[in-house]
Structure 1
Amino acid sequence: MALAGHHLNSPSALSHRHASLHLLRQSLGAYNDAETMYSVLDTIIILFSLDETQSMLGNWSTHLKGAYDLLEACGGIKGIALSSRVEAQIGILTWWDAITSLLSREDCVFPYTYFEAVEANQPKREWDFFGLCGCPTSLAKIVMRVARLGAQMRNASPPPYSEHDEAAIADLEKSLQDWFHTPAVDGPWDEERVHRDLDAMHCSEAWRNGILLYIFRVFRWKPGDSVPLHVLYRARTVVDHVVSCRDGDMISRQALLPLFLAGCELQDGSTRKKIVALCNEWDGRTRYHMFRAAIPLLEEVWAAQSERGFDNVWWGEVVDRRHLSEDYPIKMRLCFG
């Protein structure tokens, strides 16, 4: 996929992509069996991934809405035969949907019931969310809830929130604070498995702390408020967990969003350089240019913090400016994987 993305700007590649999109649009309205549905969903996922190799800014909601409309036309989450294949397809689509929604603080395309149906069958499947996106299922469930609450709160009145909303935020915070990594208990252990388990722990902890940073900025902070030390501690903790993952496994690249959120909270020059170096390294090794695209976003946040004061700037205003750019004729959003 990354190698294909490296050649996307060639005329032949652009022509093939245009033809693929044209055929996809035709297929969305002409499915006639489950196998066709699987194939069309695979195509949407491939095109989504291919676009991610070029940039983190894209018309992701178009891909997601096409997939959702297809699934609904086939009977919806209650009418589809949920095989392991289609659950994995729904799993990655709902994950991308939530990650895009987190940044935009806009409604998800997929209802929460789609994730619930996939989650309920996880014990019976050979795959899990950690293998899919680097975030364990128990944390992915919290991510799904936070994304929806972020959209809900953006459409509501500013803080202070209602008692019900405050209780929902506090419940999510407590779930994250109480969460801990549980090593697998099945099968024999050797050194490689120890390393894999520790990599999984570090990546999961990056997500746990990263979402707590998100909750602080989106639900707790107001412009001008000083940033508590525990937030700075969590931000540094995210960086440390990402760095602790082994280089060869590349699992740490799944934690791009937590790393970005952490980078926006840190003023230390050496730590910022380390974050930029990681993004450059991931870009060079994977050819997924969304990693490289995170750097100018971070630099824009840092420049604004330097100019207007650290306590007066957050990542949301930079993200919103990108989303509101008039350079694009269609709705463009950022997606960190």
Structure 2
Amino acid sequence: MQVPPLCFVSGRTCLACPDRRHSIDDQEFCVLPLTHDFEANPFRFDPKTGRGSQLLLHCILAISYKHISRGNGRYSREAKAYKKTAFRLLNEAEGTTLSNPLQANHLDALLILMTLDCATSARGPWTWYLQRAYKMIQATESLNVQKTPRIQARIDMLVWWDVTLALTTRKGCIMSGSTMLSLLNPTSTLANPNFYSVSGCPQELFGHMIRLASYAREYELASTMAYVKFDMDLINDAATNIREWQNPKPNGYGDDIADRHDYGDTDPVEFLQSREDIYHCAEAWRYGLLLYIERVFRLRNQPASPVLRFLARRSMNHVLACRRSSTVQKQLLLPVFLAGCEITDEYLQQQALLYCHWWNEQARYEMFLTVAGLLEEIWVKNDPREWWGSILDQKAAQHLAAWRLHEATVNIANGRLAEEGVTVHAIGRDPIARGEVVRLRD
């Protein structure tokens, strides 16, 4: 396999190098999934646990080749080959403990492979990934492994993915409630100072997201039972709390903040602009969650009402108020999707598509294009009897049916080949085809 002349794809030397600060992976690729870089970045190579790991090496090479291939159209074959080997190594490692440093990188590998699929599409085996990750987290907890900022950042990212996935599928979260609530525990000595760097969402609003994900599952179950009624007081309380949540104002000192604030070495213009981005990002999440409540719990299978359109416009207005040059805006894919499904204004629809295409190019993750395609499909259908949840459910069912047909075909082929003394292993056990659903986040 040919290796391009780049530092980060130099084989073993890549991971053995004592100073990788100038490698493209460490400086660029590992930051793409985040709001912004931080010291405990869970995607950055950790020499303490990763040195000598063939599993982690192949994961890094797979995602690096994927991003390079996107830029010049080359090396897609190498990306697939390294990914295949990485999954084989991960499968071989399954069942081992995380009791020594060489095995503590399994969760790092899983995170990288998950982002690798995000770079391909918003449709992927997210449930499969999260179930395996949760088993790894449980293993570390059973061994009383010290929860360092880096370990906490890994858990933050996985819980964030889990909750945003559960909001769209309405099937509940994979992680336990205690694992999720540990992120929001104010008495924790770690107190998650890096959660915003991972998610781009205020922790207070994320607490409501956890509850809404749980409520959505219960609402779905209750709707299938003749003698069970969902308690809407829970939803009303959540909506009230979200509306009344106090978003810290970007200009705490008033309009003359630029003249009165001590910025030190920070550029005053950039400081104020960043504060404004963070403020509008939080408001986009606020109105996105209020919109979610209306559509999922109150106005399901109904034409777009004035309330839905109002909340959708509010959310989109705040998204657009964030600078496109700010990676904070990149984290708003779910609010953009929720709002985009409800807006009928052609200008706002175009802005939603521009958002998806812009961040597809900047972040190099095809999940943005998947969302753009879903929005266009919903707009073309313009069917008042359908809503985004029913459309996602239909697509999930279609993918599941296709996979079952594929698996049955492979089993038949295995049976025939077994008669000839040949066994096919890889196709029928390919985890990438399992649990395929749409995940709308970054």
Calculate the TM-score normalised by the size of structure 1: 0.90
Report which of the two has the higher share of helix.
Answer: 1
CA contact (8 A) 1:56 1:290 kept: yes
CA distance in 2, matches of 1:128, 1:171: 28
CA distance in 2, matches of 1:40, 1:216: 40
Residue aligned with 2:283, SS: helix
Residue 194 to residue 278, structure 1, CA distance change in 2 (3 Å): same
Q: Which amino acid aligns with 2:403?
A: Y
CA contact (8 A) 1:129 1:140 kept: no
Q: Does 1:143 align with 2:209?
A: yes
Question: Who is 2:270 aligned against?
Answer: 192
Question: Who is 1:87 aligned against?
Answer: 152
Q: Which amino acid aligns with 1:177?
A: R
Indicate which of 308, 319, 324 corresponds to 2:397.
324
Residue aligned with 1:156, SS: helix
Q: Which amino acid aligns with 1:274?
A: Q
CA distance in 2, matches of 1:278, 1:200: 17
Question: Who is 1:288 aligned against?
Answer: 365
Q: How many residues align?
A: 330
- 1:93-133 per-residue CA deviation (whole Å, 9 max, x = no partner) reads 01101111111111211012102112215674573322111
Indicate which of 307, 313, 328 corresponds to 1:230.
307
CA distance in 2, matches of 1:103, 1:204: 20
Stretch moving more, 161-170 or 262-271: 161-170
Question: Who is 1:209 aligned against?
Answer: 287
Residue aligned with 2:243, SS: helix
Which structure has the greater CA radius of gyration? 2
- 1:162-189 per-residue CA deviation (whole Å, 9 max, x = no partner) reads 787212111111111111312588x944
Map 1:1-337 → 2, pairs under 5 A:
1=29, 4-6=65-67, 7=69, 10-33=76-99, 35-36=101-102, 38-75=104-141, 79-120=144-185, 124-125=190-191, 127-157=193-223, 165-182=231-248, 188-189=262-263, 190-223=268-301, 225-305=302-382, 308=383, 311-325=384-398, 326-329=401-404, 330-337=434-441
CA distance in 2, matches of 1:95, 1:204: 16
Q: Which amino acid aligns with 2:440?
A: F
Stretch moving more, 54-63 or 15-24: 15-24
- 1:64-96 per-residue CA deviation (whole Å, 9 max, x = no partner) reads 1111111223335x9443221211111110110
Residue aligned with 1:247, SS: coil
Structure 1, gaps ≥5 residues long: none
RMSD: 2.5
Higher RCO, 1 vs 2 (CA within 8 Å, ≥6 residues apart): 1
Structure 2, gaps ≥5 residues long: 1-28, 33-63, 253-260, 405-433
CA contact (8 A) 1:5 1:287 kept: no
CA contact (8 A) 2:122 2:366 kept: yes
Calculate the TM-score normalised by the size of structure 2: 0.69
CA contact (8 A) 2:200 2:331 kept: yes
Give the C-alpha shift of residue 5 in structure 1.
2.7
CA contact (8 A) 1:128 1:136 kept: no
Percent sequence identity is 28
CA distance in 2, matches of 1:85, 1:266: 40
Give the C-alpha shift of residue 25 in structure 1.
2.1
CA contact (8 A) 1:88 1:127 kept: no
Give the C-alpha shift of residue 42 in structure 1.
1.0
